[in-house]
Amino acid sequence: MKDIQFSYAKATTDAAVASYKAQVAQAQSDLVNGTGLGNDFLGWLTLPSDIRCQLDDIQATANLLREKCDIIVCIGIGGSYLGAKAVNEALLSSFAQLEGGKQIVYAGQNIGEDYLYELQNLLKGKRFGIISISKSGTTTEPALAFRLLKTQLEQQAGKAAAKELIVCITDAKRGALRTLATQEGYKTFVIEDNVGGRFSVLSPVGLLPIACAGFDIYKLIDGAERMMEVCGINTPFEQNPAALYAAARNVLYQKEGKKIELLVNFHPKLHYVSEWWKQLYGESEGKEHKGIFPASVDFTTDLHSMGQYIQDGERHLMETVISVAKPNHEVIFPHDEQNLDGLNFLAGKRVDEVNKMAELGTQIAHVDGGVPNMKIELPELNEYYLGELIYFFERGCGISGYLLGINPFNQPGVEAYKKNMFALLDKPGYEAESKAIKARL
Ligand code: PA5
């Protein structure tokens, strides 16, 4: 079976990439031996094999929820929702919401009152269940959504029935969500201490909502486990895709001043893979006033909005294109006798052939325009290759963070807004901050 492929041929040279070989070896060794920064958060490294013993329980829980619910609400923010959403959106039909069947919807990823009102409205009288995910168990956005939706579920289904329709995924002992789940007797899964939120998609955090959407979590883990081997310390640098990706993007950032990496796709279903990737790299690397800024575009859609800037604007961009070799479905472009639209030159071709030429044409144009172009090729869009892609990016992120000299596994900067918000909302315990911030208004 072919694996996903990474190539930097249109971005930089073998020699430039090889100049990072020793640093990458050190980073890999620090990851594997736990000798680097943030070494208490390395559980993700072996998660693909460690999680196997929980897959049957996760699948059985998903089966129960699917049996009892028409809509499953996944509550979580950041790493507690983006991985599941990325995989589900990549695999669901683009029009799943209009096609009926089981619906997976998300909450707790914002504090939009209209969003929550509309969600409550949608759930009125429906058979719904809740997966509430928060590692800390104290994050405001999901906690707020959970209280609202749990109240609604209990009113609609009754407290006893609601209990069977709620699953919590949180820390083993700490946090308000753990206390609540224990008190109410909800089914729970644990997020291990050594797995950070944005590295948790291959834990119950991602796997339960993915199984609830009807996708094969065993194949996802098979793919991830395969990449664990391919990207591991025993694979030589020159054949190790995660090592090469980390090295190539750091060549472009540290030596060529490319400060922004655009993750590009030519498949709209990959939009949320980019959102997940942005969180993974942004929250991991943006520290100490350093770090490549992760951004994303969906092509060809955004060629008609951001295309101009990418081609001609400031030259601080690099691109990483996710290319899917073989779409899951075939659409042949029809011949038309009158040819009024002048498109008969496409007749008999697959739509994907047009898309692929757009991809190639864009690559050539952007490279000519001074935007180095890296490429990740997925043989197909399925659970197995998404599992490979997830682990590839996680491993690349761990290595790349160490090449930058920062701790990729913490997120101290995220606390600043929370402190202000709590002070402004008069949360008990924030009296001094409240006084200070209000004096500034
Ligand atoms: O990667 C991270 O650690 C964060 O993005 C968290 O996932 C996010 O802040 C949500 O945290 P929690 O799961 O504790 O609610």
174 has pLDDT over 90:
yes
- Listing DSSP states for 269-302 in one string gives GGHHHHHHHHHHHHHHH-BTTB-PEEEEEETTGG
Give the global pTM.
Answer: 0.97
Q: Answer whether 283 contacts ligand 1 (Cβ < 6 A).
A: yes
On the question of pLDDT at 418 being above 90, the answer is no
In the predicted model, what is the mean pLDDT of the chain?
A: 97
Mean pLDDT for the stretch of residues 9-16: 98
Among residues 208, 199, 204, 205, the alpha carbon closest in space to that of 228 is found at 199
In this model, does residue 1 exceed pLDDT 90?
no
Which amino acid is present at 25? A
Among the atoms of ligand 1, which is closest to the Cα of residue 414? Answer: 9
DSSP assignments along 220-260, one per residue: HHHHHHHHHHHTSTTS-GGG-HHHHHHHHHHIIIIIT---E
Structural Rg of the chain based on CA atoms:
23
245-284: pLDDT as tens digits: 999 999 999 999 999 999 999 999 999 999 999 999 999 9
Question: Rounded to whole angstroms, how far apart are CA atoms 72 and 325?
Answer: 32
Give the Å distances, CA to CA, from 419 to 92, 145, 147, 412, 415. 38, 20, 21, 12, 6
Q: Where are the alpha helices (DSSP H) in 69-139?
A: 82-91, 113-123
Q: Is 132 touching ligand 1 by the criterion CB < 6 Å? A: no
Q: What is the mean pLDDT of residues 179-184?
A: 97
| Whole-angstrom distance, CA of residue 47 vs CA of residue 433 | 39
Residue 100: is its pLDDT beyond 90?
no
Say if CB 405 and CB 250 are below 8 A apart: no
**At residue 385, what is the residue type?**
Y
* Confidence label for 325 from pLDDT (cuts 50, 70 and 90): very high
Mean predicted confidence (pLDDT) in 366-383: 98
CA atoms within 13 A on the CB side of 70: 10
Query: What is the best residue among 132, 139, 193 to mutate for testing ligand 1's pocket, by most ligand atoms within 8 Å of CB?
Result: 139
- Measured distance CA(188)–CA(169) in Å, rounded: 6
What is the structure's pLDDT at 101?
86
* Contact 198 CB / ligand 1 (< 6 Å): yes
| CA 205/CA 219 separation, integer angstroms | 17
- Between the CA of 338 and the centroid of ligand 1 the distance, in Å, is 57
Q: For 226, phi and psi rounded to 5 degrees?
A: -60, -45
Q: With 0-12 CB in 10 A as exposed, 13-18 as middle and 19+ as buried, what is 318?
A: buried
pLDDT of residue 49: 98
pLDDT at 414 over 90: no
Q: Say whether 283 is catalytic.
A: yes
The amino acid occupying position 293 is F
Hey, whose CA ends up nearest to atom 9 of ligand 1?
Answer: 78
Point out the ligand 1 atom lying closest to the alpha carbon of residue 170.
13
Percent of the chain at pLDDT exceeding 90: 97
Is the predicted pLDDT of residue 416 greater than 90, yes or no? no
Mean pLDDT of 368-392: 98
